[in-house]
Amino acid sequence: MRYFIELSYQGTNYSGWQTQANGTSIQATLSHVLTKRLGKPMYIVASGRTDAGVHARQQFVHLDVDSPLPLSDDFLYSLNCMLPPDIAIHAIFPVRDTDHARFSARSRYYQYHITRHKDAFRQHLTLHFRPELNVEIMNQACEVLLRHRNFRSFSKFRPDVMHYECELTFACWRYTTPGCLTFHIKANRFLWGMVRTIVGTMLEIGQGRLSLERFEELILARDRSQLGAPAPANGLYLVEVGYPDGVLANRPVRDDMD
């Protein structure tokens, strides 16, 4: 039987989603708790691999088990008690054997949060950035971005990546509150380091250090070495994963969501 797990996490203390030889990962932490609670080794697959320090408001993973799980509030509570405070499971529900957390996903939506004012309680959750930004021209850069499909220029090299095509649904910058700026971007898939590199480049554009014409030239060059440093990980969130109708049919309604 296959189950989906819906969870969220603060990525500050982790080396990313994927299990690694050096460093604590979210995948290894969650797998360890599931293995301990269920009494047998558990292997989990996520909708996508977030980088070190990146957060997730919504992430889905799947796991396969030999017998039905006890889907009670007590079972969910016991798992959350075993997990560290910065990882939370919100729901566990059965899916079809053909439903896959990664390959069935049709979209991923990310946000990047920037604040002009230092916040002692959110230092690992937003980027504190003081320079003045021209948000109008940054949104014009988003329009340029949406005209393209190949994002090789924004991706770190990975030997397992077969292509660099991504279908962007939207990209824009919006003020959520005075002094708090958020970048919104949604696509069918994202490349390794893609969103942070886009944000880092957009910040250069917003400061007048990079023209829109040069920005498009860099996209067409398909050469990561021509772009600067990515934005820090602490401001980036995976906020929503989209699936076709039917995949989340058994997902319980969450009472902690607006």
CA-wise closest residue to 197 among 167, 157, 159: 157
Q: How far apart are CA 183 and CA 239, in angstroms?
A: 12
- Cβ contacts of 102 within 8 Å, gap of 6 or more: 45, 46, 47, 48
Q: How far apart are CA 2 and CA 190, in angstroms?
A: 25
Q: How far apart are CA 204 and CA 210, in angstroms?
A: 6
> Which amino acid belongs to residue 62?
H
Q: Is 128 helix (H, G, I), strand (E, B) or coil?
A: strand
- Active site (catalytic) residues: 51
- Give bridge partners of residue 113 from the DSSP assignment: 182
Q: Are 216 and 144 in contact (CB under 8 A)?
A: yes
Pairing between β-strand 127-128 and β-strand 87-95 as defined by DSSP bridges: unpaired
- Residue 110, annotated as binding a ligand: yes
In sequence order, what E strands does 100-148 have? Answer: 107-115, 127-128
Q: How far apart are CA 227 and CA 234, in angstroms?
A: 20
Helix, strand, coil shares, percent, the chain, to 5: 25, 25, 50
Q: Is 196 helix (H, G, I), strand (E, B) or coil?
A: helix
Which residues contribute to the annotated binding site for substrate?
Answer: 110
